[in-house]
Amino acid sequence: MTTTDPNCLFCKIVAGQIPSKKVYEDEQLLVFHDIHPWAPVHVLLIPKLHIASMAEVGPEHAALLGHMTALVPRLMRELGVTNGFRTVVNTGPDGGQEVYHLHMHAMGGPRPWLKG
């Protein structure tokens, strides 16, 4: 596994080659607003390490996934989501994955949402 993929959209966003509306960044993760939101608040949490999908996650990624998951409640509060939220990780073609770089959707805000 490589740390980046030069053809990956999300690796290009991490590298600053494609702009994003950042919400949060640290040494492991970048979080930004989805350009096609399904909810009033819809952000993507992506690891800076290129992992193509959840199907490629191994025990060595446990801390990274824990960090992603534990960060969501804080970010949702900071973004004004007060009545619950949804987290989704699409995996592979049958799971609806469109960008092959592991990412977690965090969505919240008043219902009804347009999609979902």
Q: Which residues are catalytic?
A: 103
Which pairing describes strands 29-33 and 41-47: parallel, antiparallel, or unpaired?
Answer: antiparallel
CB atoms inside a 10 Å sphere around CB 105: 20
DSSP string for residues in 38-76:
SSSEEEEEEESS----GGG--GGGHHHHHHHHHHHHHHH
